[in-house]
């Protein structure tokens, strides 16, 4: 197997059989590997998984030469010797962590770029990520407020100190970008998407030096910061979107070793221990 070839071994048995559209390959200048071209009328799809016997496996291959999730059904062998350059050994008696899914983030930048496409192109794009004919993403990370993928800094309660979060409200970015994309993605998914919320930074008045860039959350604001997350979950629920989970924050240790001040919440491990 070429060192530039990456193969995904899927030991799954699903019973969907559909025809698939082939990749229309295009080489971008100054790059070494082609991409698949999608537009409003055409986008490649992934060959579906089928029921297979326990002596077989399905191999999906993407390569530098241009293969994109090429599907092969092959057989396991019990032989201890092999003439192949790459050998995968599977010990079915030993189990590790369970992979709960695959996905990506729906940031403001994602919404802005998707909205720039025609309606039909938007449909093709979302189908390629979330539908059964595409990647079947089932996990989506949703920013709680602004990020470094936003056009400006914002939270859901900017301005003066507001301990009761009386002025908490979703932003225009949530209503125009994130929520519509999430609802559309859900409509193309075979299952309800599992949403994971992550905050990049808190309102200035919650921070130790009253600024979005770097800095810690004041210990006196921990409960308010927790309430802020609850408000976010409740607000999205009002729009028909329920969250599977939240994280303690985006890259909590990142600001501790970066020489530049960036929009984030700074955390030390001992601060995150319950």
What is the spatial distance between Cα 68 and Cα 23, in angstroms, rounded to a whole number? 7
Are 141 and 65 in a shared domain? no
Do residues 51 and 129 share a domain?
no
Shared domain check, 139 and 178: yes
154 with 70, same domain?
no
Number of domains the chain contains: 2
Does the residue 159 lie in any domain? yes
Position 214 confidence tier, pLDDT thresholds 50, 70, 90: confident
Can you tell me the mean pLDDT for 247-264? 79
CATH at 144: 3.20.20.80
Identify whether 93 is part of a domain: no
> Is 54 in the same domain as 122?
no
Cβ atoms of 184 and 140 within 8 Å: the answer is: no
Question: What is the model's pLDDT at position 259?
Answer: 63
Q: Does the pLDDT at position 17 exceed 60?
A: no
pLDDT of res. 247: 93
In this structure, is residue 183 part of a structural domain? yes
Separation of alpha carbons 42 and 59, rounded Å: 25
Rg (CA), the chain: 23
- In this structure, what DSSP letter does residue 207 have? B
Q: Are residues 61 and 137 in the same domain?
A: no
User: Does residue 133 share a domain with residue 41?
Assistant: no
Quick one: 72 and 128 in the same domain?
A: no
Banded model confidence at residue 117, pLDDT cuts 50, 70, 90: very high
Mean pLDDT along residues 84-102? 84
Together in a domain, 129 and 64: no
Q: No. of H helices and E strands in the chain?
A: 6, 9
Question: pTM above the 0.85 mark?
Answer: no
Residue 83 domain-assigned (yes or no): no
Q: What distance, in Å, lies between the first and last C-alpha atoms of the chain?
A: 48
pLDDT range class, residue 15, cuts 50, 70, 90: very low
Average pLDDT over residues 191-215: 93
Asked if the structure places residue 88 within a domain, the reply is: no
Mean pLDDT estimate for the chain: 88
Position 238 pLDDT exceeds 60: yes
> Helices in 117-221 by DSSP H: which ranges?
119-130, 172-173, 179-188
Residue carrying structure tokens 């295009």: 26
Rounded to 5 degrees, what are φ and ψ at 179? -65, -45
Quick one: pLDDT band at residue 222, thresholds 50, 70, 90?
very high
Among 77, 95, 116, where does a domain finish? 77
In terms of domains, do 115 and 175 share one?
Answer: yes
The whole-number average pLDDT for the span 255-264 is 74
Least confident of 1-5, 32-36, 148-152, 210-214: 1-5
pLDDT 10s digits, 153-165 = 999 999 999 999 9
Structural domain harbouring 2: 1-77
CB 126 within 8 A of CB 184: yes
CA distance 203 to 220: 14
Residues 151 and 255 in one domain: yes
> Residue 205 domain-assigned?
yes
Residues 107 and 73 in one domain: no
């Amino acid at each position: 197997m070429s060192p530039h070839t990456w193969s995904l071994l899927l030991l799954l048995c699903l019973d969907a059989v559909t025809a698939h559209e082939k990749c229309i390959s295009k080489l971008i200048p100054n790059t070494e590997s082609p991409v698949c071209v999608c537009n409003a009328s055409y986008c490649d799809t992934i060959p579906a998984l089928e029921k297979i016997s326990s002596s077989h496996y399905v191999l999906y291959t993407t390569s530098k030469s241009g293969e994109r999730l090429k599907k092969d059904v092959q057989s396991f062998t019990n032989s201890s010797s092999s003439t192949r350059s790459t050998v995968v050994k599977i010990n079915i008696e030993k189990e590790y962590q369970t992979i709960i899914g695959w996905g990506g983030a729906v940031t403001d930048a994602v919404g802005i770029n998707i909205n720039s496409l025609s309606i039909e192109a938007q449909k093709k794009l979302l189908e390629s990520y979330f539908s059964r004919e595409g990647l079947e993403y089932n996990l989506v990370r949703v920013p709680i407020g602004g990020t470094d993928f936003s056009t400006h800094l914002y939270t859901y309660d900017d301005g003066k100190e507001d301990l009761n979060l009386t002025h908490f409200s979703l932003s225009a970015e949530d209503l125009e970008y994130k929520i519509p994309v999430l609802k559309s993605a859900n409509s193309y998914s075979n299952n309800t998407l599992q949403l994971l919320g992550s905050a990049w930074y808190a309102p200035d008045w919650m921070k130790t030096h009253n600024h979005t860039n770097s800095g810690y959350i004041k210990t006196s604001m921990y409960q308010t910061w927790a309430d802020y997350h609850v408000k976010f979950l409740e607000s999205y629920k009002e729009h028909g979107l329920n969250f599977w989970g939240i994280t303690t924050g985006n890259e909590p240790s990142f600001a501790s070793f970066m020489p530049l001040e960036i929009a984030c919440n700074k955390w030390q491990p001992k601060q995150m221990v319950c």
